[in-house]
Amino acid sequence: MFEGMPMRNTRFGALIPLAVLAIGLGGNLGTAVAQEPSQLEFHRDIRPILAESCLLCHGPNEAIRQADLRFDTDEFLDRVVVPGDAEASALYERLTTEDPIRKMPPAGMSLSDEQIDLVRRWIDGGAEMGTALADADVPAIPERTVDFAREVRPILSENCFTCHGPDAEARQRGLRLDVAEGPFSDRGEFGGPVITPGNADESLLIHRVSAVDARVRMPYRLGLNTPVMPGTDEDALDPGEIETLRLWIDQGAEWQSHWAFIPPERQSVPPVAGAEWVRNPIDNFVKARLEREGREPSPEADILTLLRRVTFDLTGLPPTEGDIAAVLGDDSPDAFERHVDRMLESDGYGERMAAEWLDGARYADSSGYQTDAPRQMWRYRDWVIDAYNDNMPFDQFTIEQIAGDMLPDATLEQRIATAFNRNHSQNGEGGIVPEEFLVENVVDRVSTTGTVWMGLTLGCARCHDHKFDPISQKEFYEIYAYFNNIPERGNLRGLGAKAFKYFNSPPLVTAPTEADFARLAELDETLEKAREEFASLETEAADARAEWESSLASAWPIDWVLRDKLLVHHPLDGDIGGAYSGESVIPHQGVTSHLRTPRAPVSYQFPINVTLEDGLPRFAPGRVGEAMSFDGKRFINAGDVANFTYAEPFTLAVWIYPTAADGVIVSRALAGDQGEQGWGLYLLEGKLQVNLSQRYADDGLRIESVDTLPLNEWQHVLVTYDGKRVPESFRIYVNGESREINPLLDGINNPMRTREPLRIGASGSPPENSGATDSRPRFQGMIDDVRIYMEALTPEQAAVVATGETLTEIARIAPAGRTAGQAEKLRLAFLDQYAAPEVRDAWQNVKDLERERAALWDSFPTVMVMEEMEPRRDTFRLIRGAYDVPGERVDPGVPAVLPPMPDEYSNDRLGFARWLVEPDHPLTARVAVNRFWQMYFGTGLVKTSENFGLQGEYPSHPELLDWLATTFIDSGWDVKALQRAIVTSSTYRQASNLTPEAIEEDPENRLLARGPRQRMTAHMVRDQALSIADLLAPRLGGPSVRPYQPEGLWEEQSSQEYRQSTGDDLYRRSLYTYWKRTLAPPSMLAFDSSTRETCVVRLSRTNTPLQALNLMNDVTYVEAARRLGERMIVEGGTTPDERIAYAYRLSTGHRPSPDARAVLRETFDDFLGEYQADRSAALEFVDVGATPRDETLDVAELASYQMVASMILNLDRTITKD
Encode 639-683 in three state secondary structure: ECCCCCCCCCCEEEEEEEEECCCCEEEEEEEECCCCCCCEEEEEE
Q: Which amino acid is at 280?
A: N
Q: Which residues pair with 716 in a beta bridge?
A: 655
- Given this model, what pLDDT does residue 677 score? 81
Q: Which amino acid is at 627?
A: A
From CA 487, how far away is CA 870, in angstroms rounded?
Answer: 9
Please state whether beta strands 566-570 and 780-789 pair in parallel, antiparallel, or not at all (unpaired): antiparallel
Helices of type H across 860-916: 909-916
- Given this model, what pLDDT does residue 592 score? 29
Domain span(s) for CATH 2.60.120.200 in the chain:
562-572+608-805
Q: Measure Cα distances from 980 to 326, 450, 1158 in Å.
A: 19, 27, 40
Q: What are phi and psi of 1093, to 5 degrees?
A: -70, -35
Q: Which CATH class is domain 562-572+608-805?
A: mainly beta
- Given this model, what pLDDT does residue 748 score? 74
Query: Of the candidates 346, 323, 328, 327, which has an alpha carbon nearest to the alpha carbon of residue 337?
Result: 327
Q: Helix (H, G, I), strand (E, B), or coil: what is residue 44?
A: helix
From CA 1028, how far away is CA 1120, in angstroms rounded?
Answer: 8
From CA 311, how far away is CA 352, in angstroms rounded?
Answer: 10
- Give the angle subtended at the CA of 1016 by the CAs of 1015 and 1022, to the nearest 5°: 135
Report the run of H or E that residue 370 belongs to, with start and end.
Answer: none
From CA 727, how far away is CA 723, in angstroms rounded?
Answer: 10
Check: CB of residue 1141 under 8 Å from CB of residue 1149: no
| Residue 854, C-beta contacts closer than 8 angstroms, at least 6 positions apart | none
From CA 591, how far away is CA 606, in angstroms rounded?
Answer: 7
- Given this model, what pLDDT does residue 143 score? 62
Check: CB of residue 943 under 8 Å from CB of residue 933: no
| Residue 624, C-beta contacts closer than 8 angstroms, at least 6 positions apart | 559, 571, 655, 784, 785, 804
Residues constituting the chain: 1218
From CA 480, how far away is CA 1061, in angstroms rounded?
Answer: 40
Check: CB of residue 271 under 8 Å from CB of residue 42: no
Whether the pTM exceeds 0.75: the reply is: yes
- Given this model, what pLDDT does residue 204 score? 87
- Given this model, what pLDDT does residue 45 score? 78
From CA 495, how far away is CA 492, in angstroms rounded?
Answer: 8
List per-block mean pLDDT (blocks of 10 residues) for the chain, which spans 1218 residues. 30 29 28 44 77 71 68 78 88 85 71 85 83 44 73 87 84 84 77 85 86 79 57 77 89 90 95 94 97 94 97 97 93 96 98 98 94 92 99 99 98 98 89 90 98 97 92 97 93 48 81 96 97 96 92 83 89 52 28 30 38 74 90 88 88 97 92 70 95 80 94 97 86 96 82 85 67 72 94 94 91 93 93 93 95 92 95 96 96 97 97 98 98 97 96 96 98 98 98 89 94 96 98 97 93 85 97 95 95 94 94 97 98 96 95 96 97 96 96 97 98 95
Q: Helix (H, G, I), strand (E, B), or coil: what is residue 5?
A: coil
Query: Of the candidates 13, 414, 490, which has an alpha carbon nearest to the alpha carbon of residue 243?
Result: 13
Report the run of H or E that residue 612 belongs to, with start and end.
Answer: strand 611-613
- What is the DSSP-derived secondary structure letter of residue 922? S
From CA 326, how far away is CA 455, in angstroms rounded?
Answer: 40
- Give the angle subtended at the CA of 1212 by the CAs of 1206 and 1215, to the nearest 5°: 80
Query: Of the candidates 145, 279, 275, 285, which has an alpha carbon nearest to the alpha carbon of residue 959?
Result: 285
